[in-house]
Structure 1
Amino acid sequence: MNEIIITTAAVTGISAIFAFLLTLADRTIGNYGEVKLVINEEKEYTVNGGSSLLSTLIDEKIFIPSACGGKGTCGYCKVKVLDGGGPVLPTETPFLTDEELKDNVRLSCQCKVKQNIKIQIPEELFNVKEYFATVEEIEDMTSVIKRLKIKLPEGEEINFKPGQFIQLKAPLYEGNDEEVYRAYSIASSPADKSHIELFIGYVPGGKCTTYVHKYLKVGDTVQINGPYGDFYFHDDNDREAILVAAGTGIAPILSILKHMKEYKINRKARFYFGAKTPDDLFLLDYFRELEEKLYDFKFIPTLSRVTEEHHWTGERGRVNNAIDKHLDNSDNKEAYLCGNPGMIDSMVSALMEKGLPEELIYFDKFD
């Protein structure tokens, strides 16, 4: 018995010493002191070294899109590092093309700020703002999708293009020991500059979706930043808009349709919405109303897992089956797609087979 106690005490002591040494190393070896951060050859900041470039930029209120919260799994947080970034890490290479590697592009969440560093980012990111907004509405759309309506602080506005996204911060809560940002497409009209509408699906174990679905309440304050994204509606032409989405991918398509209604854009539009069963459909009355109010718009939901018990009389199969059936030609058309990578890839192939040029197929992939 005494031997067990002595052994346990020895192991505990060694563990404590090891933890102390790790902490000491982090505070000394990992302490790089103050370094210079130069952005676009003109903006200079004095920052503390040791953190990731993404975190360092956030501390300076410069926000880079990062759908995975800085875990190195989404590949969104790319910046051009001109000097001082160190070698490219193995965690970055899967997300960087050969051309990007030659052009000094890095994942800012993986690149550490250890010395004076020079980077280049798109100028529009300096217009990204952070907001402490109030949750006005939370509504269940399906068993796994909630709609959030968020009001910005009095006197503040957000200017975005239909199709872009914001980042929502999940704070610490029971079961979540780190603050993370997650990207969500904006569903509201750009004309309403004081509100943001989001559709957020529940992902088991997801830090932000768990926060939204199980902890967030009307009246709570949320921290968001944006807007971001090069996926947006091009309203400078008269092409027919082929709109395709599944699940929460409906959000940017809604923003596009609201924009078309608000500004009376007289363009033909067809919205193909993919779901599994009738229980996964929502806002049906709203889309029927749009069919009456927009210039030439049709809503075409298609279900992939219906049975005779559902009494479904609409389109069946995957969205690309509906495209094959209803899209007779690709003349004077462009497409806007939002959904998971599998859906996007199949849709791009289906549209290109119909003759739609790849450069006129705009998409936003999310996991």
Structure 2
Amino acid sequence: MNMANKSFWKDSEILECVSVVPEVPNTATFSFRSPSGAYFDYKPGQFVTLEIPAPDQPGGVVHRTYTISSSPSRPGLIAVTVKAQEGSIGTRWMLDNLKPGMRMKAMGPAGVFTNADSKASKYLFISAGSGITPMMSMTTYMWDEGHDLDIVFINCAKRPSEIIFKQGLERMASRAPGLDLKFVVEEPDPYSPWTGYQGQFNQLMLGLMAQDYLDREVYCCGPEPFMQAVREALAGLGFNMDNYFQESFGAPVKTEAEQPDLDDVIPDDESKAEIHFTSSDVTIKVPETETVLAAARSSGLNIPSGCTFGVCGTCKVKKTKGEVHMVHNGGISEEDVEDGFILACCSHPIGQVEIEC
């Protein structure tokens, strides 16, 4: 596209809404144009901040940040896809009131969550809910630019009917063999069979969806507990976290300096832990990367086990003191964890730990 004679939009110019497309419940895509006809210049994955009327709020407006769901390869319009959560003010106003022809002030684009400057050839996009929006922008951009796609695209939602962009992604994937879609839902829709992945995203699913995940650059977006689970799953499988990038849809950042430090507990092979098996009165020192199950076996102790992947729950034991880093795959309930139980096969001791065994 020849843009030599076109100007580019500056956020001093107000935007005009030109279309509203319902997506899934409480979710819609709003497209805007520049009244002057200027093009939009941004990187896929970046965001804009909208000034939204809010009569009940101080100043009468609220400012809400939304990832751009459109692609810079289509510069005539810019679009955001918004989902109202419980208690939403700005997003709820947009869904209830914003119509084509209305104008809004916007600031940006900004943000550092983008693969535009990446040299990687293989990607793994992992998102939950409306965290799919930057992944859609990056995928569309690569498709439009004629890249040889090699993307495993994973999105998690509560139900199939709540997967944003599902039909659009399936159409794209039907024309691009390198776009591999994987959807995970918590539960099926009533009277509608679901044959895909179901449950909470975990290590086992990751291994089935992208067997070569160690060779891919990972981009993740969603609520913080979801992203933490993804980070722990990857770290537990030996992934190089230098190739992991994330953006919370609740708090996108403008610059690299604003990126939060990820203080996840990651077992260190150089650090030693001490496990005291109280029933047997056996104490052993092991690297933090050793599992409680492996430590018990090396000491001649028997903890019953089955899958060794944190699924079956056979190796559940009581931890009476200390901390472990446990990344399981559904084999233990939150109630049991709160009561001090762990799965020995996927728990790594941190510091001094006591186990009933």
Which residue does 1:280 correspond to in 2?
Answer: 162
1:315-359 residue CA offsets vs partner (Å, 9 max, x unmatched)? 111233531422324343101111111111111111222332112
The one of 215, 225, 228 aligned to 1:345: 228
Q: Percent identity?
A: 21
What secondary structure, in the 3-state scheme, does the structure 2 residue paired with 1:219 have? coil
Tell me if the contact between 1:148 and 1:198 (Cα under 8 Å) persists in the aligned partners: yes
Whether 1:263 and 2:145 are equivalent positions in the alignment is yes
Whole-angstrom CA distance in 1 between matches of 2:183 and 2:140: 18
What secondary structure, in the 3-state scheme, does the structure 1 residue paired with 2:179 have? strand
Whether 1:180 and 2:67 are equivalent positions in the alignment is no
Whether 1:169 and 2:51 are equivalent positions in the alignment is yes
Tell me if the contact between 2:24 and 2:162 (Cα under 8 Å) persists in the aligned partners: yes
Quick one: which amino acid aligns to residue 303 of structure 1? V
What secondary structure, in the 3-state scheme, does the structure 2 residue paired with 1:293 have? coil
Which residue does 1:361 correspond to in 2?
Answer: 244
Whole-angstrom CA distance in 2 between matches of 1:291 and 1:206: 33
What secondary structure, in the 3-state scheme, does the structure 1 residue paired with 2:16 have? strand
What secondary structure, in the 3-state scheme, does the structure 1 residue paired with 2:82 have? strand
TM-score by length of 1: 0.61
Whole-angstrom CA distance in 2 between matches of 1:356 and 1:197: 34
Shift, 1:280, TM fit? 0.7
Shift, 1:128, TM fit? 6.8
Structure 2 CA distance for partners of 1:308 and 1:324, relative to 1, 3 Å: farther
The one of 311, 315, 334 aligned to 2:217: 334
TM-score by length of 2: 0.63
- Give RMSD over aligned pairs: 2.2
Whether 1:305 and 2:163 are equivalent positions in the alignment is no
Tell me if the contact between 2:130 and 2:164 (Cα under 8 Å) persists in the aligned partners: no
Tell me if the contact between 1:147 and 1:197 (Cα under 8 Å) persists in the aligned partners: yes
1:193-241 residue CA offsets vs partner (Å, 9 max, x unmatched)? 2311111111343221122012211211011111111111145424311
Tell me if the contact between 1:273 and 1:302 (Cα under 8 Å) persists in the aligned partners: yes
Whole-angstrom CA distance in 2 between matches of 1:130 and 1:249: 28
Which residue does 1:232 correspond to in 2?
Answer: 114
What secondary structure, in the 3-state scheme, does the structure 2 residue paired with 1:265 have? coil
Whole-angstrom CA distance in 1 between matches of 2:216 and 2:102: 43
The one of 51, 65, 83 aligned to 1:201: 83
Shift, 1:311, TM fit? 0.9
Tell me if the contact between 1:337 and 1:364 (Cα under 8 Å) persists in the aligned partners: yes
Which residue does 1:9 correspond to in 2?
Answer: none
Shift, 1:366, TM fit? 2.7
Shift, 1:250, TM fit? 1.4
1:74-127 residue CA offsets vs partner (Å, 9 max, x unmatched)? xxxxxxxxxxxxxxxxxxxxxxxxxxxxxxxxxxxxxxxxxxxxxxxxxxxxx9
Shift, 1:309, TM fit? 3.8
**Range moving further from structure 2, 339-348 or 299-308:** 299-308
Tell me if the contact between 2:125 and 2:153 (Cα under 8 Å) persists in the aligned partners: yes
Structure 2 CA distance for partners of 1:295 and 1:331, relative to 1, 3 Å: same
Alignment of 1:27-38 (within 5 A): none
What secondary structure, in the 3-state scheme, does the structure 2 residue paired with 1:310 have? coil
The one of 126, 132, 135 aligned to 2:14: 132
Shift, 1:162, TM fit? 0.7
Point out the structure with the larger helix share.
1
Shift, 1:176, TM fit? 7.2
Tell me if the contact between 2:28 and 2:83 (Cα under 8 Å) persists in the aligned partners: yes
What secondary structure, in the 3-state scheme, does the structure 2 residue paired with 1:270 have? strand
Whole-angstrom CA distance in 1 between matches of 2:190 and 2:26: 24
Tell me if the contact between 1:176 and 1:207 (Cα under 8 Å) persists in the aligned partners: no
Whole-angstrom CA distance in 1 between matches of 2:126 and 2:241: 15
**Range moving further from structure 2, 354-363 or 278-287:** 278-287
Shift, 1:177, TM fit? 5.3
Structure 1 gap ranges (5+): 1-126
Whole-angstrom CA distance in 1 between matches of 2:22 and 2:128: 17
Whole-angstrom CA distance in 2 between matches of 1:307 and 1:196: 32
Whether 1:293 and 2:175 are equivalent positions in the alignment is yes
Whole-angstrom CA distance in 1 between matches of 2:14 and 2:214: 45
Structure 2 gap ranges (5+): 1-8, 251-357
Quick one: which amino acid aligns to residue 342 of structure 1? P
